[in-house]
Amino acid sequence: MSINRRNFIMATGIAAAASSAPGMLRAQTGSARVVVVGGGFGGATAAKYLKHWGGNKVEVTLIDPKTRHTSCVMSNLVLNNELALNDLRFGYGDLTSKYGVQIIKDTVSRIDPGGRVLTLKNQAPVNYDMLVLAAGISFKKPKGWNARKNPHAWIAGNQTNLLKKQLQAMPAGGTFVMTIPRSPYRCPPGPYERACLVADMVKSNGGGRVVILDANDDIQAEKETFSRAYSQLYGNIVEYYPGAETGFVDSNAGVVETSLGDFAGDVINIIPTQRAGGLVRKAGLTDGGLWAPVDVTTYESSLAGYEDIHIIGDAQGSGQPKSAHMANAQAKICADAILRKVASQPTDHPERLQNITTNSACYSPITRNTASWLTAVFQYDIDSNAMALAHIAEAGEWTRDNYSEMFDWANNLFGDTWG
């Protein structure tokens, strides 16, 4: 479970990683079969806390096609060889042995909300009383794009290793081109952080160019910090182009066509427009949009006809940042709400509503041994029936201490999710 390189120390406890649940369940009556789809940050946390808090009142099954989840968090450090992908892989053994979560290794291909049944790719259908969907994101692919030539590396795994290999093979003086989609996308500071790390590699390799083609009008997170890093640390390397909407990608020629013109690169990293995964969209849970609307006090779908279907993590569309830390926090609100329903308790008790908070945290490596950070706290606002930003803070500088704390923070989050 723990990452064994550099100063990774397996930290116990959840203080840095988790927002608190709105209240502990005291289940009196009822039982339910809860099925969780997706064993990433949202799904694994939900499955764990449903059993941890609900005990025998719930039967919890987690379905994921893989035996281990590969974390996107910290995966930019695979690119510069500070970590290996294996350091970021987490299995589901503890969820079963410590909490009694049942695991099915398969892909859910269809949801029947009326019949409350899931069709699996390889195995028999699975019935549920309550469903938690935490199946992450999918991409809107630009025309011409071939991800095997121009990796996204925005879902960690083979794509991350492919981008790493391409960066290692990039000639001195070469050009790295990265596209950033319009917000909202997974991990707001992530692309800017990646640009810093690649610029750091390019700098150590005798120079070159890092071209950032941002579809947004400005840097989306930690603007001051990244702007300063680009000018002070990587002045001759990073070129930042706001308002550069990606059009056709000529993967054979290595050229990205944008609203600002064409850009050629030796290594091209396409981070495409994002939306909820296909399972959630095909079930009609996004109502034709990119993300699934939810009631933020329970994470149940806010659309009619989808009772007892909850969507957490990146796929939901509540306006909160799409981060692993946030998915972990939402999972606890969702687990608490489901357990209250099982116990025939209301989920809209004023005391519970007042205590619904979530938070997000992202550490961003700026060089191979320094980092900055950003955190945001959201509080439920009864008038707007939405999560409102209550507090935001950022490091404002990149330091070695932040870099070291980043590993403690990540290990807390990993431990609270899969441990």
Ligand X SMILES: Cc1cc2nc3c(=O)[nH]c(=O)nc-3n(C[C@H](O)[C@H](O)[C@H](O)COP(=O)(O)OP(=O)(O)OC[C@H]3O[C@@H](n4cnc5c(N)ncnc54)[C@H](O)[C@@H]3O)c2cc1C
Rg of the chain (C-alpha set): 21
Which residue in this structure is represented by tokens 């099915």? 104
Among 169-177, 233-241, 294-302, 315-323, the segment contacting ligand X (CB under 6 A) = 315-323
Report residue 285 as tokens: 């849970």
The amino acid present at 81, given as its one-letter code, is N
Binding letters toward ligand X, positions 102-131, x by CB under 6 A:
-----xx-----------------------
Cβ atoms of 301 and 314 closer than 8 Å: no
Dist. CA 394–CA 349, nearest whole Å = 33
184 touches ligand X (CB under 6 A): no
59 touches ligand X (CB under 6 A): no
323 touches ligand X (CB under 6 A): yes
The amino acid present at 33, given as its one-letter code, is R
From the CB of residue 355, how many other CB atoms can be counted at a distance below 10 Å?
A: 16
352 touches ligand X (CB under 6 A): no
**For ligand X, which residue of 18, 41, 101, 336 counts as binding (CB under 6 A)?**
41
**For ligand X, which residue of 53, 90, 154, 240 counts as binding (CB under 6 A)?**
154
Tell whether the torsion through CA atoms of 313, 78, 362 and 184 is positive or negative. negative
314 touches ligand X (CB under 6 A): yes
134 touches ligand X (CB under 6 A): yes
Q: For residue 388, give the H/E element and its range.
A: strand 386-394
Nearest residue to ligand X by CB is: 40
Window 256 to 275, contacts with ligand X (CB under 6 A): none
186 touches ligand X (CB under 6 A): yes
DSSP 170: P
Report residue 97 as tokens: 């042995």
Residue nearer to ligand X on the CB measure, 31 or 399: 399
101 touches ligand X (CB under 6 A): no
38 touches ligand X (CB under 6 A): yes
Furthest-apart CA atoms within the chain: distance in Å: 67
Dist. CA 116–CA 106, nearest whole Å = 18
Q: How far is the CB of 197 from ligand X (least distance, A)?
A: 10
**For ligand X, which residue of 181, 313, 415, 419 counts as binding (CB under 6 A)?**
313
Q: What is the DSSP string of 322-387?
A: --HHHHHHHHHHHHHHHHHHHTT--S--HHHHHT-EEEEEEEEESSSS-EEEEEEEEEEETTTTEE
Cβ atoms of 269 and 179 closer than 8 Å: yes
Q: How far is the CB of 351 from ligand X (least distance, A)?
A: 28
Among 14-22, 64-72, 166-174, 215-223, the segment contacting ligand X (CB under 6 A) = 64-72
Among 4-12, 72-80, 168-176, 339-347, the segment contacting ligand X (CB under 6 A) = 72-80
Residue nearer to ligand X on the CB measure, 201 or 315: 315
Q: Summarize as ranges the residues that interact with ligand X (CB under 6 A).
A: 37-43, 63-66, 69, 72-73, 75-76, 107-108, 134-136, 154, 186-187, 190, 277, 279, 313-315, 322-325, 327, 361-363
